[in-house]
Chains A and B, each alone.
Chain A
Amino acid sequence: MSDKTSTSGKQKASGGKASEKGVLYVGVDLGTSRTAISASNGVRESMDSAVGYPKDVVSHKLLKKDVLYGREALDKRLSLKLFKPLENGILKHCKDPSSKDAKDNVKAAKDLIAHAVKMANARSDELVYAVIGVPAQASINNKEAIVEAARAAVDSVMLCSEPFAVGYGLDMLDDVLVIDIGAGTTDLCRMHGTMPEDSDQITLNVAGDAVDQELSKLIGESCPGAQFTIQMIKELKERYAFLGSALESAEVVLPVAGKPTEFEVTQQVHDACAILVDPIVEGLNKLVSSFDPEFQHKLRNRVLLAGGGSQIKGLDTAIEEAMNRDLGGGKVIRIEEPLYGGANGALKIAHDMPEEYWDKLK
């Protein structure tokens, strides 16, 4: 891309390869818990990041499918060999790529990405160009595995940092701090008008899954005999999660020795959600204090809250209060579509990427 003229879609000569076929852009937010896509045909979908294969011939005959995805895979998990290919925001087992677990996991990741792209419902005659958001500090091995997985499903693919995609999607490229709370990781990213470097990004392992674990522990301690799975806890959290004042009390029915029993767990939900605040504020402090002193004030007052975890009611206020206490002030803005923020940003990057760049990566 040498000049403005060639970058502009409006001034591009028509009749090239792409114009004969049509071009579908897809933005993908590949998350530990959920995968979301946004496409240039208006389709927006999300699914649980789970892939399952029938355990044996009997389950295969019963399910009548070779592969199941998302909620369906989770619901039928007893008949399946279930994979959640990502852990803490990265592909599992990728440190030892030659192991059987790693190979099976990569296959599951490939199927997951292919299915995510399929959800965009592209026409068969269109070129599909995808940008996939990956955690800020994903390793090279991980990125390679994700690119390999995606190549089978699209014509050309690029990766970008997930929090960067969120900021780009909102046209907030300068003096912004992005907090992207996923299931496996919370990514903090400082945007200052250039591509974020390693020193601009912090990845915390305290995220949605850690809240689930904490809530599980607290309920286990306070509700004697209650039986539950981590999936039940996750659903409970998604229904009631809050910080600050409770809008409603969290009343749940859990079996005790097989008998449904009602428990009130409002305080436990609050305490579990609260574990996010201090590590995030500590991370923000590091990113703010190592920034140009002249612009630190601006940075503190432009903190974007995104990702599935940002749906916790009152989290923005709780972070602001902690910033007031520890950093001398700050303003947190919750993005409008937490689940699709990353995918929308990735879609925008795909749209803005010049043609020759896509061609060179085919």
Chain B
Amino acid sequence: MSGLTAAKEWQALSAHYQQMRPTSIAQLFHDDPARFEKFSLRLDGFCLDYSKNLLTGETVGLLLELARSRGLERLRDEMFSGALVNSTEKRPALHTALRQKNPPPEVQKTLSDMRVFSDAIRSGEWRGCGGKKITDIVNIGIGGSSLGPQLVTEALTAFHLPHLRAHFVSNVEASDLGNTLKTLSPETTVVIVVSKTFTTAETLQNAEQARAWFLERAARSDLDKHFVAISGNVDAARSFGIAANNVFPMWDWVGGRYSVWSAVGLTVMLMAGAEGFRQFLSGAAAMDDHFRSAPLERNMPVLMGLIGLWYRNFCDMPALACIPYHVGLRCLPAWLQQL
């Protein structure tokens, strides 16, 4: 924040708030019949109406001046180009590369490996240790390794196959896993262990419990058909008992909270199909293009971010509520909180 509050653009917004303070949003609608057209945006069947906010064209102009003075466009372009925007860990943040039309070769290969696995499970060609088809997927992860895939899987229930169910276990509290496993049969279950380092304490604890549950009724050699890892640490996954072929990679340049677009989305692909996953990536790519190319004053993420800053820093409204009116988006608020 240093320097930020002293900037002349910041001071201008402070002064502007004093002018805006006595105004009401309802009055702004009354004063300007074209208000909705000015303060709403559409993109591919997606609509953002931000007209019912305490702002005018002048407010937006001042916010954009602040954004420009802070180098927002340069910082945005640096993120997309793979600069080390994660400065404390000296890493790029290239989740956007996972969803671009022509992703890097390693991403393409991973997507293709995921598709082969997913198609085999969905078609029933992949058989469990008793020769039966897989009916249940258990995703074990924590934070972004759980919330992202869970949100997307639940939101896309309409696209699920009737014979396949997904379960998400992230809590280390034992009843989370226990309640899930007691309804399942090891012969028809695939467990996906999601951990970049394969050392995450909670995830490994749950994974070990799940393996013990499995080995009560199956042989260690059967793990190949039932345990999968999403991890950057192939060796650790292998010594856990997971076949090298069943390890899908995670990369340093994708943060956990932005990872649903990577192999961490395997459960999503299993449940919504490879084509569904492709469309999910392409929706995000469309937003990436919009964020990168739309002028700032017509740019959805820029405006939403700036409006949030306006309330937080100038209007003394530090809280934020996010309310999805769809049961499939039940996990959206939790996912947002971990972003």
Q: Do A and B bind each other?
A: no
